[in-house]
Structure 1
Amino acid sequence: MTYSDLIKRGSLKPLHLAMLLAFTHGALGSEAKPAVLDEISVTASSFGQPLDLKQKNQTASRLGLSIKETPASVTVVDRETMERRGIDNTQEALKSVPGITSSSAPGSPGSVFYRGFSSASVTQLFNGITVQYDAIAARAVDSWIYDRVEAIGGASSFLYGAGAVGGTINYITKLAHRDGNHTEFKAGYGRFDATQLAVGTNQVLDERNAVRLDVNRDTMNGWSDGTKREAWQAAGSWLVDLTPALRHTLALEYQSEQVDRPYWGTPILKPVGDRIRIDEGTRFKNYNSQDGIYEQTVRWARSILEFKATDRLNLRNTFYHYDALRDYRNVETYAFNATNTAVTRSNALLQRHDQTLNGNRLEFTLDSSLGGRSSTWAGGIDYSVNKQTRFPLSVSGPFGSVDPYNFSTENFFSLPGVTPGFNPDRTNRVKTLALFLENRTFLTKDLSLVTGLRHDSIDLEVTNHRTVSATNPAYFERRYTPLTGRLALAYDLTDNANAYVQYSTAADPPAGILTTASFTQVRNFDLTTGKQWEVGSKFSFADKRGNGTLAYYEITRRNIAVSDPANPGTTIPVGQQSSRGIELALGYQVTGNLQVAGNLSLVNAQYDEFNETVGGVAVSRAGNRPTNIPKRVANLWLTYSPLPAIELGADLRYVSSRYADTANTLSDDAYTLFGASASYKLDRTTRLVLRGKNLTDKIYAESFSGTNMAYLGQPRTIDISIQTSF
């Protein structure tokens, strides 16, 4: 074993190294010429930091702050963490964020639940860009092309616009860089015939040019009967230094996914009491049409121009283009009869989404001073045009009943009332002009003031392509002008710990999503508003072998749409929803070869004022917890290296019970998932990994759609992969 190996494993401490060098010098004699040693790096572990407070993030602020410097709850799931934890896609990455749960059900594949909120109240970005259709556009994407995933908890519309009452998530793609040539390859195979082939390379062509290309292909036969999936992702970028002060990056992405006979959910056993019950015999059953389908094609293009005007002033301009085409052809709802002897199938939907987004963002950062104190500014202007046309054909059915365990289903177009072809419903055009500004000023050496402000001018135009009526006019438009912001103080208590307090606001659409909003959903409603108070701390301990973050927050969202008690068939914007909670995250290097990391979230979420229509009557749900929101979520990861070539891992995830309905009459049981991995280094750059997820084969629900169906999580899987780089 070499000295370098000993140092990397933590077996050779700095004191031991000093003694070794002194001994070597003495053995050479005082007259000997000093030896010139290669530069070495002394580290406590080869695992990396599970919670690196010095890591920069670009989602929680444009000021270039580290996690510790940012007065907010910030999580960065970097590339190394994704590899170590076996994170296969973007939604799995979110499990590393305190308190987040998610679901990839086909009808809402990007569903995220964060700090007691969901849907459009949690903004999901792609490289800092919102497509304003998060629950669909943020469908789980294979993680190979991504460099990291970042999240900020709570109200944060002041950063990227409407939405983000519960938080903001940002998926950041790998880009070309100048850190040298590097090529990596990965191949894997797992249960349900899951295969992965992936390659990525970064090449520095000359002193001015660098390119990067990442390609990934995944296939899977699926754990639900008849489901098959094939997905491709490719991300390419070209970095060129036009002058010493001016650089340009062209970044292109392509995603293609096809799912044959997608799984939409499993019926809940009757009678429905207070606990959800799943018949194990239906766990793998798929009640969709034989030729059901989900298809998606996504293209991104970004032109990023960066100019270092002076040592203190930097400019950045990003022109971006996005287009997506999605097709659905499925029977989507299944329910047991009263005796659980048959499953009734209903709600056939043939639908196409055609969406484009074009925009340009100009930003600046400026280092300056105010009253002799260091002050950093960031701001800019963003203009975008988002256009989406939907082509829905919906037939409610029902389409008969089948035996729960032994059945066959029809081809989709043989269903009564279903015909081929796409006819447009309406086109929504959303134009957004935003001005934003942030600042951090040091009031004293240890105390900083961080502020942010954003003003949006949002124009919604909707064109109806179908029959005109009083509730569906040929054309209507609305304008929204939200002003949101942040005010925060951060104080360094010691070199190893700080404390912060912040107040922030947010705004989101009354209909949830403006790119699909109808006349009845927006009418004369304004955006709903949210506010958050948060206090917290970022700290290191045990000689900086451990890091942690702690936060307490209170969030209130006002003016949500509720059923009008005087006219239950209509809604009025007078409702209110709130949440308060605690989040804790820790990472600790116990020894040189043992590392532990984990997080815990406790949240109390409720409707303060909320009515829904039941049987033509408005019923209050005040005091109830929103659906799909757990009170407690916890994660734990252990990593142990008994030998330099071997790394063992174990993980645990706990999610407490959730309600399936706003009446809070039906809930599931809490669930705990266990996973494990073993990695063996074949050589310095090649490793073989065996990984198991949900090892106890727990039957659990990712989410619920009413009281008839649960969308189940993946059963036990085992996979093996090999990854190398050169």
Structure 2
Amino acid sequence: MRYPFKRAQSTRIVTSFTTIPSVAVIFFACILVLVTPMPVQAQNTVAINIPSQPLSDALLQLGQQTSLQILYTPDLVRELNTSGLQGNYTPENALRQLLKGTGIEYERQGNTVTLKRISAVTLPPLTVSTASLKQGTAEEGYRVSNISGIGLWGERSLRDTPYSMSVVPSDLIENVNAQNMGQIFKMNPLTQEPNIQNHNSVPFVTIRGFQSENPVYDGIPLADGNGSVISVIEIDRVEILSGTSGFLYGGGRVGGAINYVTKGPTDIPLRRLTFGNYGGTQFYGHADIGGKFDERGRFGYRANLLYQGGDTAIGEPVNQKVANIVLDGQITDTLYADVKYTYNDYRKEATQSLFNSVIERTGIDTSKRYSPKWASNNVESHKAYTSLRWDPSKYFTLRSAFFYQHTNMRVSRIFLNQQADGTFTQRLNNTADETHENYGGYIYLDTQFKTFDIGHKLTLGYSSTFYEYFLSNDCCINQNGTSSLSLNELKNIPEPNWGSIGNDPKLPVWINRFNNILIGDNIIFNERWSAMVGLNYATTVNKAFRLFGDNDYEKSALTPTVSLLYKPIEEVTTYVSYMEALETGTRVGNTYANHGEILPPLVSKQYEVGAKYDINPNLLLSTALFRIEKANQYSDLATPIPSYVQDGLQVHNGVELVLTGKITDNLTIMGGGTLMDISVEKSNNPALEGKKPTNAASRMGKIYAEYALPWITGLSLTGGIYYTGERYADAVNTDKIPSYTLYDIGARYTTRVLDKALTVRLNVINLTGKNYWQNATYLGVPRTVAFSVSTMF
């Protein structure tokens, strides 16, 4: 293989905005970008000067004049010539011009392209994978053009999707040294920073003021987030839907849905090692290996392996092992299939205590640990996925997928209640050897046809997801801790004698199920007007046994959606949409007096108007106005033990703005914000009328930026400012969670050592050491320094 290259002319972009004092400036900056004329060449164009010569020499010069690394065999270009190329081109367009008429095509992975002979057989479009969707690189400003699919709608343009969405690609996850997805959601302007559950690593993300607890994996929704484990190393991209998703994914997810798109095989060989530190003494090693088994590229593989060990920034010992294996194949010209498996073994000691009630929130230091070493989590998870796509003709496509996850956990936790004198009482909880099982799957049939001049893509489908929770009769113990203690004394709480806990056989205690029968039609009237309409006959089933009582219910509802899209010009899409969602009534947890009770199911409604504008190919601006109506659920704060109840209507009106991509050749931003007017209406309790729903920030403003220093090749500075407004921890709005602004800074340097690409990343999270609350129960992340070194081998 030949490797024409020079040291990468990195356009990765990062800047620090630590001097900007206010969220208002963030909104002003976004608006200023919209009205400021963009440079015509804000697409990474470079000056190309290649004379007429043999193609092999021309490719060598192209590699020297751009950031491309071009791989090919000498036989491929032998006796081929080029007439040369002069002018300003993007690197990829320059390569395309040189290869025109040669019978050679290329595949791209980041800045590396592989040349190959054009095949005589053209295969049909494959199911979405990392290879087919590899967008959102740092060089492209993390801008993604297509989404992998949303509900029964298949792969489509992000700009022409009539929902408010944001996509976080794997390049950004890696470049901020994210230990888990909490760091990513903290940065995203559509989401509040979530707490990462102590007993697993799936965030409970708040979007549009509502918590989205149940994740979606590769388009397959889960019935319950408990027991679900996700690692950043298996994620290729995160597709964030802001807004009600009932028609798309069935029950729940009133505020939005999080689709974790997992990694797939690469079209070109990938061999990458990363060594780093997530903060404190948490060192880790990560290997990412991918490629094709055969010369035709029909069968591929991908493996991601992680080992992590050490203490967090507040002294919590962590040990984690992850193995992610993927195989795929174009079995015939019309049939594609893949198989994915992930093993995760996560162990954590001295996990931070949870706060049930707090009188004074400003006196707690997030850089300290308030827990003894015996408070711990042990989680072992197995996940398996498979998907299939069959294209028997150009008119029909069959898509199907299946997911299974089995998780075992053992969790010991401490819940704190602050007293009037500032001390804390404790409730000690031990759940021994609990098991969670999640199943999910779908089957969709697409057909394309026309009625007169109106085009249709009609999809019929069925999806189902099932969750089952297993415990033994002697599984769970709650004990009162030592008498009231100060925060500094909490580390000394002795471990209780739990006795012979968890010796009885495990039996099911909780079942959730959602079934969806769907029909949707993507209608194209002409090049400017289109519509997306659909119906979902959604069914929610819930059953509880033993310690959760003995009750069950089943409810079905027809949840429709309709969206109308209009494109005044090619670069702009506007839309109006309406959607409903059937939601399971909340299962009341064991911290409430009515634990085990199931609140009634309910139907929520959302109205949305939005617009998306491609300012340039690597810069997308989107905005949306919305209204959501949902039944209100809250803690009544009764003493000594509160109850969890359903009363009144939660109404959220708001506006969102998101800007993602390259402002200039050297500057990338991901920014925007959310403003909402939220309140409780139609409550039977007059004290709740007009109050703010719990844990819902009505204001957010965030911006992350990268700036590539033009005078130091390969060096980028990074930084972010993230503002979250005040929220309330209780329904009557007496316990206020203060607003906060967080600052991150960092740097990234890319070079070559011994002819191998080398990337060094450094990130400081919560630069000022701000004390803050992620929500009413969880403390924020302390100042943390993370770094990594990645190299190819």
Q: Fold match, TM over 0.5?
A: yes
Matched, 1:626 2:693: yes
Change (3 A) 1:513 1:68: farther
Q: Are residues 593 and 21 of structure 1, via their aligned partners in 2, closer, same or farther at CA, if it must alter by over 3 Å?
A: farther
- Name 2:36's counterpart in structure 1: none
Could you report, residue by residue, the CA deviation over 1:219-271 in whole angstroms, capped at 9, with x for unpaired residues?
Answer: 2412334x21112222111112322211221111111111112112469875x
For the 8 Å contact 1:110–1:138, the answer to whether it is kept is: no
Mapped to 2, the partners of 1:336 and 1:213 lie a distance apart of: 47
Closer/same/farther in 2, CA of residues 156 and 518 from structure 1, 3 Å limit: farther
**CA distance, structure 1, for counterparts of residue 735 and residue 657 of structure 2:** 29
Q: Is the 8 A contact 1:388 1:427 kept in 2?
A: yes
Deviation for aligned residue 1:292: 1.9
Residues 119 and 679 (structure 1 numbering): CA distance in 2 closer, same or farther, change over 3 Å?
Answer: closer
Q: Supply the distance in 2 between the matched residues of 1:377 and 1:286 (Cα, whole angstroms).
A: 56
CA distance in structure 1 between the partners assigned to 2:443 and 2:454 by the alignment: 27
Counterparts in 2 of 1:112-123, with a 5 A limit? 112-118=205-211, 120=213, 123=214
Match of 1:663 in 2: 732
Q: Corresponding residue for 1:41?
A: 92
- Picking from 332, 336, 359, the partner of 1:243 is 332
Mark the CA change 1:269 to 1:77 in structure 2 (over 3 Å): closer, same or farther.
closer
**How far apart are the structure 2 equivalents of 1:49 and 1:324?**
38
Equivalent residue number for residue 486 of structure 1: 561
1:57 and 1:67 in contact (8 A); partners too: no
- Paired with 2:46 and 2:205, the residues of 1 have a C-alpha distance of 48
Q: Structure 1: which amino acid aligns with 2:693?
A: P
Q: Any conservation in 1 of the 2:148–2:156 contact (CA below 8 Å)?
A: yes
Aligned to 1:674: 743
1-structure distance, mates of 2:590, 2:248: 20
Question: 1:129: which partner in 2?
Answer: 220
How far, CA to CA, are the matches of 2:590 and 2:600 in structure 1? 16
User: What is the CA-CA distance between 1:211 and the residue it aligns to?
Assistant: 1.3
Matched residue, 1:687: 759
Distance in 1 (CA, whole Å) between partners of 2:196 and 2:455 is 45
AA at the equivalent of 1:376 = K
Contact 1:329 1:412 in 2 (8 A): no
* Aligned residue pair count: 678
CA contact (8 A) 2:370 2:491 kept: no
SS of 2:568's equivalent in the other structure is: strand
Which of these residues, 230, 235, 258, is aligned with residue 169 of structure 1? Answer: 258
Partners in 2 of 1:662 and 1:454 — Cα distance? 33
Q: Within 5 Å, give how 1:420-439 maps onto structure 2.
A: 420-421=501-502, 427-439=509-521
Unpaired runs of 5+ in structure 1? 23-32, 612-617, 706-710
Q: CA deviation at 1:403?
A: 4.4
Q: CA deviation at 1:200?
A: 1.1
The answer on 1:104 being equivalent to 2:188 is no
Equivalent-residue separation in structure 2 for 1:182 and 1:580 (angstroms): 46
589-598 vs 406-415, which deviates more?
A: 406-415
Q: Which runs of 5+ in 2 are unaligned?
A: 13-40, 53-80, 95-110, 112-136
- Aligned letter for 2:631? R
Instruction: Say whether residues 1:214 and 2:304 are aligned partners.
Output: yes
The DSSP-based 3-state class of the residue aligned with 1:482 is: strand
DSSP-derived class of the 2:173 partner: helix
Aligned to 2:609: 535
Question: Matches of residues 300-315 of structure 1 in structure 2 within 5 Å?
Answer: 300-315=383-398
| Residue 414 in structure 1 maps to residue 483 in structure 2 | no
Structure 1 residue aligned with 2:371: 287
SS at match of 2:706: strand
1:181 to 253, 260, 269: 269
What letter is aligned with 2:182? Q
Match of 1:361 in 2: 442
Alignment of 1:8-407 (within 5 A): 17=48, 35-36=83-84, 40-42=91-93, 47-50=138-141, 52=143, 54-59=145-150, 62-101=153-192, 102-106=194-198, 110-118=203-211, 120=213, 123-134=214-225, 136-137=226-227, 141-177=230-266, 179-189=267-277, 191-206=279-294, 207=296, 208-225=298-315, 227-265=316-354, 272=360, 276-280=361-365, 283-288=367-372, 290-330=373-413, 332-340=414-422, 342-391=423-472, 392-406=475-489
The aligned counterpart of 2:775 is 703
Letter in 2 for 1:493: P
1:675, 1:693 within 8 Å by CA — same for their partners in 2?
yes
| Conserved 8 A contact 2:715-2:747 | yes
Moved more, 108-117 or 695-704: 108-117
Q: CA deviation at 1:366?
A: 2.4
For 1:472, the equivalent position in structure 2 comes to 549
Q: Secondary structure at the match of 2:220?
A: coil
Displacement of 1:600: 0.9
Structure 2: distance between partners of 1:559 and 1:191? 39
1:445 to 527, 536, 539: 527
Q: Partner of 2:573 in structure 1?
A: 498
Q: Secondary structure of the residue that 1:414 maps to in structure 2?
A: coil
Change (3 A) 1:486 1:637: same
What's the CA shift for 1:15? Answer: 9.3
Give CA-to-partner distance per residue, 1:41-86, whole Å, 9 cap, x none: 259x984334636223323662322111101101111112222333
In the alignment, is the contact (CA less than 8 A) between 1:145 and 1:216 conserved in 2?
no
Post-superposition CA distance 1:508-530 (Å, at most 9, x none): 1112589999998666x652111
Give the conservation status (yes or no) of the 8 Å contact 2:622–2:658: yes
Contact map agreement 2:143 2:619 (CA 8 A) in 1: no
Give the 3 Å change call, closer, same or farther, for CA 537–516 of structure 1 in structure 2. farther
Residue 593 of structure 1: aligned partner? 666
Does the CA contact (< 8 Å) of 1:428 and 1:462 recur in 2?
yes
Q: 1:701 corresponds to which letter in structure 2?
A: W
**Structure 1 residue 636: deviation in Å?**
1.0
Assess if the C-alpha contact under 8 Å between 2:43 and 2:617 holds in 1: no
Distance 2:44 2:557 in 1: 56
* 1:559-604 superposed Cα distances (whole Å, 9 cap, x missing partner): 75897x9xx9998865211101111011353332222331111122
Q: CA deviation at 1:35?
A: 3.7
Structure with bigger RCO (C-alpha 8 Å, 6+ apart): 2
Shift, 1:401, TM fit: 3.1
CA gap of 1:544–1:653, structure 2 versus 1, over 3 A, is: same
Contact 1:153 1:167 in 2 (8 A): yes
Cα deviation, 1:661-715, whole Å, max 9, x if unaligned, reads 211112133211111111122316211112211111111111113xxxxx22121
Residue 352 of structure 1 deviates from its aligned partner by: 4.0
In the other structure, the counterpart of 1:27 is none
SS at match of 1:701: coil
